[in-house]
Structure 1
Amino acid sequence: MMIAYNFTSNIQKELHTLEQNIKNLVTAQNPILYAAAEHLFKAGGKRLRPSIVLLVAKATAKEGKILASQKRLAEITEIIHTASLLHDDVVDNCSTRRGIKTVNNQFNNRVAILAGDFLFAQSSWYLANLKQVEVVKIISKVITDFAEGEVRQSINLFNLNVTINEYIEKSFYKTASLIAASCQGAAMLAINNSKIACKLHLYGKHLGVAFQIIDDILDITSSAIILGKPGEADLKNGNLTAPCLFAIAENIKIKQIIEEEFSTLSDIDTVILMIKQSYSILKSQDLAREHLQAALNCLKYLDNSESKKDLEYLTEYIIDRLY
């Protein structure tokens, strides 16, 4: 059952301003580039990543006052995330995102790639203007991590020898790296305490990995309407995620079907059914919970505050997405 607590209630003003600013920050002179980037921003989304940044900022700033640089970092984080989605949709040949046509579907792959590159470039420019060299280094590495994650995923499609640890590493590069870096960066902008900043990096890392595991569970168990994008896409493309990897160890028939790369039309449905009938979903949920507990342990190093409680509730919300 979902938690009724609204963990963003104390940052509503900042989130409203962020919503306006991220659209204003997209200043492409070319109308096609602008339209492509704006298309995805208009679709909204949960704004989970900037919410995390703003809550970390509030929890570490003096008297809970979020700095202008921290607000800008939250905006930069959402721009980087959006850029990565544009590229992901091309790589995965995805047709819908957040319930609307993807940019590559609305325009074409070339426009989507260029729009993603444009947003990465804009985020780098705004990042440099923070004039905090260490924060720039940390956030800049995220963009290389995205590429590392995509390469790892691409070379391991239909690879039955992928381990859970390798899957978690890839999940860090593709999803958790941005959350971890932005949490650490938000803390560094407010305090001169490397221990707390590192603990918040770990918080973001574990939170991001758990988020990806749960996304992968939902890809198997939820409909396209709920997901806002086509379901079972990862499996169809040969991207073997936690539920599938756990199920392969239980059922050799799944392994045999995947080895043949779903040679018949009914193969996907057969594998999905066998995954659901195995213990793999429960094992994946347990793996996500382990990472969420590790994330919660990292928050113990923060002083008690409303923002700390909000971060704890947010962490619990991640696992409640399953129910």
Structure 2
Amino acid sequence: MTPATSLFSPVEADLQILADNLTQLVGNGHPILCAAAEHLFGSGGKRIRPAIVLLISRATMLEQEITPRHRRLAEITEMIHTASLVHDDVVDESEMRRGVPTVHSLFGNRIAILAGDFLFAQSSWYLANLDNLQVVKLLSEVIMDLASGEIQQGLNRFDASISIETYLNKSYYKTASLIANSSKAAGLLSEVSPETAEHLYSYGRHLGLAYQIIDDILDFTGSVEILGKPAGSDLKSGNLTAPVLFALEEKKYLEVLIEREFAQEGDLEQAISLIHDSQSIERAKELAAHHAKLAVEHITHLPPSESRACLIKMGDYVLTRLF
């Protein structure tokens, strides 16, 4: 068991059911779109987002079995996440993800965009069939947030003047919104109190922000094997993340390199060196730890259970991805 999957022990059987269901859920469409979907769902991944939904479902249904609607919510969450990755890979022109070729590198941009649209449409249809208007609103907002985050990231490329707050807002839209709103939705399906539902939302929000900040640190500290892409890829494309923004406060020449978009030979390597030569990575780690701690504080409002214990440990897991 990997550190991630050992955290999921209370929902291990649930995740196997989810894996079996995902390809069936998209199984009757166009053959090429289905092949693309099977490639995506067959390439694995840690399934962290649906695991969180299932853990929250079990942690809020202690006296009862989780319902088919809880399971379907976990599947919808993974479909939305996967659809967003397909579109991100087209925008970023990424050839590999998780060590396997991306959909657009195998099938072309046209099919990749249609496959992403297909998954968003399928997830929306299954979402509507949950017959819970509050949940429909929450997950519909996620789909809007994903688009807003991508647009905001595109508009802010190579803009060295953006603030940490702007970066965190974009990170919420692109990563934390799905975790936050699906966490709250799981609670609503369990008919928790409004106060508990807000704690679940805040747990997902802070955990998602911590996860994204660590991802952004790994862009400078991880290997190609871990990242599935060359280190510094985000910086090269003008996506300025927490380590870069903190480094800009110490290393003024970094702004010059960014504003000329690393046009001269050696610019990118010099920029990465400046980031490593600053306190920026340490400060970004502290920011991630702050959000992980806030996430744990919100989940302790649930009654004790094995699933709650796993949700608490998720805060540590997110941070230990660095090691």
Fold shared by both chains (TM-score > 0.5): yes
Could you say which residue in structure 2 is the equivalent of 1:288? 288
Contact 2:5/2:46 (<8 A) preserved = no
Cα distance in structure 1, aligned partners of 2:236 and 2:6: 36
Q: For residue 161 of structure 1, give the secondary structure of its aligned residue in structure 2.
A: coil
Could you say which residue in structure 2 is the equivalent of 1:59? 59
Give, as a single letter, the amino acid of the residue that structure 2 aligns with 1:222. G
Moved more, 276-285 or 60-69: 60-69
1:228 Cα offset (Å): 2.0
1:193-272 alignment, distance < 5 Å? 193-272=193-272
Deviations along 1:157-194, one digit per CA (max 9) or x if unpaired, are: 00011100000000000000000010000000002411
Cα distance in structure 1, aligned partners of 2:167 and 2:4: 32
Give the 3 Å change call, closer, same or farther, for CA 4–26 of structure 1 in structure 2: closer
Deviations along 1:88-107, one digit per CA (max 9) or x if unpaired, are: 00111111001011111111
Contact 2:148/2:173 (<8 A) preserved = yes
Contact 2:176/2:209 (<8 A) preserved = yes
Contact 2:300/2:312 (<8 A) preserved = no
Give the 3 Å change call, closer, same or farther, for CA 288–64 of structure 1 in structure 2: farther
1:286 Cα offset (Å): 0.3
Contact 2:86/2:103 (<8 A) preserved = yes
List runs of 5+ in structure 2 lacking aligned partners. none
Cα distance in structure 2, aligned partners of 1:8 and 1:42: 19
Q: For residue 125 of structure 1, give the secondary structure of its aligned residue in structure 2.
A: helix
Cα distance in structure 1, aligned partners of 2:123 and 2:186: 16
1:34 Cα offset (Å): 1.1
Cα distance in structure 2, aligned partners of 1:28 and 1:275: 49
Deviations along 1:99-150, one digit per CA (max 9) or x if unpaired, are: 0111111111111111000000000011111111111111111000001101
Aligned length: 322
Give the 3 Å change call, closer, same or farther, for CA 226–64 of structure 1 in structure 2: farther
1:62-77 alignment, distance < 5 Å? 62-63=62-63, 65-77=65-77
Deviations along 1:265-301, one digit per CA (max 9) or x if unpaired, are: 3111111111111100000000000100110110121
Cα distance in structure 1, aligned partners of 2:214 and 2:43: 22
Contact 1:90/1:104 (<8 A) preserved = yes
Q: Does 1:128 align with 2:122?
A: no
1:233 Cα offset (Å): 1.4
Give the 3 Å change call, closer, same or farther, for CA 4–105 of structure 1 in structure 2: closer
1:230 Cα offset (Å): 3.3
Cα distance in structure 1, aligned partners of 2:59 and 2:65: 9
Give, as a single letter, the amino acid of the residue that structure 1 aligns with 2:77. T
Give the 3 Å change call, closer, same or farther, for CA 5–263 of structure 1 in structure 2: closer
Contact 1:94/1:230 (<8 A) preserved = no
Cα distance in structure 1, aligned partners of 2:227 and 2:64: 35
Q: Which runs of 4+ in 1 moved over 4 A?
A: 2-5
Give the 3 Å change call, closer, same or farther, for CA 64–319 of structure 1 in structure 2: farther
1:251 Cα offset (Å): 0.3
Give the 3 Å change call, closer, same or farther, for CA 80–5 of structure 1 in structure 2: closer
Could you say which residue in structure 1 is the equivalent of 2:23? 23
The TM-score, its normalising length taken from structure 1, stands at: 0.97
Structure 1 vs Structure 2: percent identity of aligned residues?
A: 51
Q: Does 1:93 align with 2:126?
A: no
1:72 Cα offset (Å): 0.8
Give, as a single letter, the amino acid of the residue that structure 2 aligns with 1:285. K
Deviations along 1:4-57, one digit per CA (max 9) or x if unpaired, are: 992111111101111100111112431111111221111110000001000000
List runs of 5+ in structure 1 lacking aligned partners. none
Moved more, 198-207 or 56-65: 56-65
Q: Cα RMSD between the aligned structures?
A: 1.4
Give the 3 Å change call, closer, same or farther, for CA 279–203 of structure 1 in structure 2: same
